[in-house]
Amino acid sequence: MEFSTTTATALHTIKTQALAVGVFTDGMLSPAADALDQASKGALRAAIKAEFDASSGSILTLHAPAGITADRVILLGLGSQESLKAASVSRAHQALAAYCVRAGVGTAVSTLCALDCADASLADLARATARLVSAATYRYDHTFSKAKPAVKLRSFSLHLSRAQAAKAKPGLEQGAAIGAGVNLARLLGDLPPNVCTPTYLGQTAKDLAKQFKTLKAEVLDQKKIEALNMGSFLSVARGSAEPPAFIVLRHTPSQASARKAAPIVLVGKGITFDAGGISLKPGPGMDEMKFDMCGAASVLGTMRTVAELDLPREVIGIVPSCENLPSGTANKPGDIVTSLSGQTIEILNTDAEGRLILCDALTYAERFKPAAVIDVATLTGACVIALGHVNSGLFTQDDALADELLAAGRQAQDPAWRLPLEDAYQDLLKSNFADMANIGGRPAGSVTAACFLSRFTSKYRWAHLDIAGTAWLEGKQKGATGRPVPLLVQYLLGQCAA
């Protein structure tokens, strides 16, 4: 996909298969729409009056209108002009991109980013546009007997003034790279668990290191993991015949001056299939437990974006990966394991396995003396109940880090919501037989899971993102979303600019 800007002044002379303009519900045309309406002698206004309410996300196609060179003029509803926000522009671009893919359109030009939005800069709008258009071109066909028809959309351009174009170009470049990272995360999530194994994730990290010279991949096998004494992680892995992998993917910026700051570490939960272990999950919907590695997928997708942009900050991705299956060697409720930190854990529920692999990864992260560590995990069903499928759950005791992540989520249109992480909840993890239990009961399940992880993060700034409600879609639209790659990249961009 090629993203660009065009500064042609006469809109009606632009040659493209689709030329998109904005329309507001109050009957007002955007300046670009008004220009095309005049060139077509009122064709746009006539069509709007007849059949278009211009509600946010709505779309109407005019084929070969007289006086206009473009094959199609696409009217995009923006809602009320008085409350135009970045989300409305993004919703319109999603509708446009979906139409282009569905209709087999190869080239498109949008005028929407030239509009003023109170809550977003031009770079923000361009970044979101490139990301969303890239997402629309995603097609999963890896396990079909016949490949799906190729997406024809190959060129997407923003119509802007010369001054605007200069401001938009960095956003377009970033958005295209974020889109590629999101689509990698989606692909890894969508692949079946007999394909996307821990070994496969490890090979993906190695392939990324071959593709981008700033990346270096290290994949620790079971013997090396055992040598490190990651007893908690290994206790989950031993229930499966599939070998575990502990993946470290490190971005070292090409600019030597950018290597002085302490690294930022991202940790992603990589359970490539979660049957629950001995605490077996119900059968219905269990196929979706292939998505339990979406934290790992988002970290790998983020690292791809970081490398493509060559961000001037050292970033390290850590992925502990294994399967959680019932077998004669699997964890049993009542087992006690010793983590890499030396703390002991009583396993009361083997389906609370994500925290058991993450805790060792969080301890491992200490060796990098990080500026901050952010872990990403499809950790608890309780977070889905609390926040649904809109916001990811954010947990941290660091107010400044929370503010940075929440702001990044808003800016990237990949929102998170902060939930409590108070010491009073720690009492729910008490055990009569070990330093802690791996669950704290039904009340505040997502909070106690975060409390558990916090016990392994005392030596650095840390935040936890629970993406159980946002990492994939259910039903007819079943598939990975690639979240929170946009949030993570936006946070990293902010850290590089600080």
Give tens-digit pLDDT for 290-300: 999 999 999 99
In the chain the first and final C-alpha atoms are separated, in Å, by: 31
Determine the average pLDDT of the residues in 361-377.
98
Using CA atoms, how far residue 420 sits from 396, 401, 444, 456, in Å, is: 8, 14, 10, 18
pLDDT single digits (tens) 70-90: 999 999 999 999 889 999 999
| pLDDT for the residue numbered 180 | 98
Residue 63: predicted pLDDT:
97
Q: What pLDDT, on a 0 to 100 scale, did the predictor assign at position 99? A: 98
| pLDDT value of position 257 | 79
Residue 313 is which amino acid? R
Q: How confident is the model at residue 27 (pLDDT cuts 50, 70, 90)?
A: confident
| Domain range list for the chain | 2-161, 180-497
For 180-497, give the CATH class: alpha beta
Superfamily of domain 2-161: Leucine Aminopeptidase, subunit E, domain 1 (3.40.220.10)
Q: Measured between alpha carbons, how far is 237 from 280 in angstroms, rounded to an integer? A: 15
Is 488's pLDDT higher than 90? yes
Task: Encode burial over 316-328: b for 16+ CB neighbours within 10 A, e otherwise.
Answer: bbbbbbbbbbbee
pTM to 2 decimals? 0.97
- Given pLDDT bands bounded at 50, 70 and 90, which one contains residue 256? confident
Q: Which residues pair with 317 in a beta bridge?
A: 249, 266
Where in the sequence numbering do the catalytic residues fall? 281, 355
Per-residue pLDDT, averaged over 26-33, amounts to 92
pLDDT at 51: 93
Percent of the chain predicted with pLDDT > 70: 100
Q: With 90 as the cut, is the pLDDT of residue 498 above it?
A: no
